[in-house]
Amino acid sequence: MAKVASNHADEGRPVQSQAEAGSSSTASWILLAVGVAVATVLAISLPRLIGAAGWETGEKFLYIALVGYLGASVLYVASLAIQETRLVAGAGALTRGAFLLHTAAIAVRWVAAGHAPLSNIYEMVLMFSWGVVLFQLLGEWRLGLRYFAAVTIPVAALALILMQVLPGEIRPLVPALQSTWLQIHVTLAVLSYAGFTLSFAAALLYFVKDGTSPRTFLNWTTGLVTGIYAVVVLTSVDRGLNLLVPAWDVVEGEKIMLGPKQALMVAMPGLGWPFVIVLVLAAGTLALNLIDIFSAQSGAATLWARRFFLAALVGQVAALTMLAVRIESGPYFAPQVNQSVPVRFASSPFLLVGVVSALFISLAWEVLRWKHEAIVEYLPHRDTLDALIYRTVAVSFPLLTLMIIAGAYWANRTWGSYWSWDPKEDWALITWLTYAAYLHMRLTRGWRGRRAATMAIIGFAIVLFTFFGVTYLLPGLHAYA
């Protein structure tokens, strides 16, 4: 017995040390690349950062924090694949630095506004992303949940990207919002949403650990990318392959509206085609991958699926770059008013976030494909991840309950009714029912594993819809956020 083991070890050692040497140099390259990238971006942005304006609202602090989070995201995702302490140390340092700036942004904004930054969607995203990073850091410190960071820090980075384009000026509080209950209600909301982000991270990693193959993940990845680009193409690309974006009133800092719910649209000539191409390529990858999975002859379409995916990835980078370069260099012609009007990213925050998310997801899948086995081995046992889903829900669900109660109490103080069936309330209720169902299934039916993880992922999708979808698609009493 002992002999066999020692033989095995003898065989294994040289191979392992070779692998270590290889991953060590890869890690050095990644660290170097991220370091240079962060420094370069900051250097390029220096002219933008100089000047007093933008510091007191926290926007410039957030910009630097965003650069830090993006660098940390790359390092954390890479550290899943290559278990190198230097990568983790670098990621941790960047995250903590960015978190300090993030905290500073909240503090200066609080001082400048004279009230806690909890009164509109910009400030909610500010606090939500802060809560996500806070929970991540706490989880890392107390429970060693470092691997969550590969999901949570990119989510925080996406939130900060969204904030770069959401209107961030400080507005005075309308009378209904002048209440301690606003602070209690919104704080509980962002904390519970942040907690559910951690459940989502645990559920996603559960699927990785549980032996879901990269090919299956490719279905989901390309499905999401196809979905995002299909929405863009269907809503914003016209017959002449122009990209339609809302016009921006530079003086007022808001969209130019022609009527209620009807924004003035500007056609950016020829910018539609990169989106159409990515849509076709992503849908093609999905189709080829499905053929690959379900055809009798295994591996028939693998190569072509791979080529399509890489082409789609290049296309996404191209689409994002062209969009970024051209959107701020208007004005462009608006046929409805027969004149040229300026355009900004700020007029279409979700276009930007959708395209960036698609790119994030695609890159994450690339990493998964590259080092699938190493990642699976690195992640803790399935049962640990399953228990982590439950524990994060067990923290977030009472917070969600208290958030709804605090909201009802506040509404009753302000309007004399606890519940008005307003869309935000309804969706908070749906979120609550979803996680209540999860708890019932797990506690009384003993649901574990994939079914429970799927519910946690669906729950998070509903949280995101409650957070953003309701605000932008179904406005009601919660008009301010």
Partner 1 sequence: MGKPQSIVDRILQFFSSLKCGLILLGLVGTTVIAGTIILQRPMVREGQIEQIYAPQTIRLLDFLGLFDVFHAWWFILLLGLLGASIALASLEHFPQAWRYFSRPHRVADEWYVRNLPFLREIPLGSSQPQDALGRAAQRFASLGYRPHPESLTKRTLYVEKHRWARLAPYIVHLSLLIIFTGAIIDGTWGYRGYISLGPGMRTQQVESLASNAPPRILPFTLRCDGAGMEKYPDGSPRQYWTRLAIEENGREILRRQIFVNDPLTYGGIRFFQASFGSSGAPTKLVMEASWPGGERKPQTFTLLPGEAVKLGDPAVQVELGDFVPDFVLQGDQLSTRSNDPNNPAIRLVLTQAGGRRSSVWFFPKFPQMNFPSDLGITFQLRDVEMGYTTGLQVAKQPGKELIWGGCLLLTAGLILALYMVHIRIWGVV
Residues lying near partner 1 in the complex (CB under 8 A):
171-172, 174-176, 178-179, 181, 394, 397-398, 401-402, 405, 408-410, 412-418, 421-423, 426-427, 429-430, 433-434, 436-437, 439-440, 443-445, 470, 474, 476
Of 357 and 392, the one with the shorter C-beta distance to partner 1 is 392
Half-sphere exposure of 293 (CA within 13 A, CB side): 12
Which tokens in the block code for residue 432?
A: 């609550």
| Residue 230 vs 474, nearer CB to partner 1 | 474
Helices (H) and strands (E) in the chain — how many of each? 15, 8
Task: Give the pair of three-digit tokens for residue 33.
Answer: 């690349």
Q: In angstroms, give the least distance from the CB of 455 to partner 1.
A: 12
**End-to-end CA distance of the chain, in Å?**
65
**Burial call 143-162: b when 16+ CB within 10 Å, e when fewer:** eebbbbbbbbbbbbbbbbbb
Nearer to partner 1, 54 or 476 (CB): 476
Report how far residue 308's alpha carbon sits from residue 446's, in angstroms, rounded to the nearest whole number.
41
345 Cβ contact list (under 8 Å, min separation 6):
164, 165, 324, 327, 328, 352
Taking the CB of residue 417, how many other CB atoms lie within 10 A of it? Answer: 10
Give least dist CB 135 to partner 1, A. Answer: 17
Closest distance to partner 1 from the beta carbon of 426 (Å): 5
Compute the least distance from the CB of residue 430 to partner 1, in Å. Answer: 5
User: Shortest approach of partner 1 to residue 119 CB, angstroms?
Assistant: 13
Coarse DSSP helix, strand, coil percentages of the chain, rounded to the nearest 5 percent: 75, 5, 20
Task: Rank residues 175 and 299 by Cβ distance to partner 1 and give the closer one.
Answer: 175
Question: Is the CB of 309 or the CB of 435 nearer to partner 1?
Answer: 435
What is the secondary structure of 45-76 as a DSSP string? HHHHH-SSTTTTTTHHHHHHHHHHHHHHHHHH
- Closer Cβ to partner 1, 309 or 390, answer by number: 390
- Alpha-carbon span 452 to 468, nearest angstrom: 24
Cβ proximity to partner 1: between 63 and 438 the closer is: 438
Shortest Å distance, C-beta 399 to partner 1: 10
In sequence order, what are the residues at sequence separation of 6 or more whose Cβ sits closer than 8 angstroms to the Cβ of residue 260?
A: none
Contact 137, 95 (CB under 8 A): yes
CB nearer to partner 1: give 29 or 419.
419
CA atoms of 78 and 457, how far apart (whole Å): 23
Query: Smallest distance from the beta carbon of 445 to partner 1, in angstroms?
Result: 7
Task: List 29's β-bridge partners, or say none.
Answer: none
Q: Residue 338 or residue 444: which is nearer to partner 1 going by CB?
A: 444
Task: Indicate the length of the chain as a whole number.
Answer: 481
Tokens of 44: 């390029």
**Minimum distance of partner 1 from residue 58's CB (angstroms):** 20
In the complex, least distance from residue 420 CB atom to partner 1, rounded to whole angstroms: 8
Output 61 or 467, the one with its CB closest to partner 1. 467
Q: Is 299 helix (H, G, I), strand (E, B) or coil?
A: coil
Asked if 476 and 213 touch (Cβ cutoff 8 Å), the reply is no
- Distance from the Cα of residue 381 to its chain's centroid: 25
Which of residues 172 and 335 has its CB atom nearest to partner 1 in the complex?
Answer: 172
Which tokens is 349 given? 């925050």
CA angle 368, 371, 375 (to 5 degrees): 80
Q: Which of 121, 77, 103, 358 is nearest to 221 (CA)?
A: 358
| Nearest distance, CB of residue 422 and partner 1, angstroms | 8
Smallest distance from partner 1 to CB 444, Å: 6
Q: Which H helix or E strand runs over 144? A: none
Cα separation values, 241 from 268, 270, 274, 382, 401, Å: 9, 6, 9, 47, 47
Residue with Cβ nearer partner 1 (164 or 401) = 401
How far apart are CB 175 and partner 1 at their closest, in Å?
4
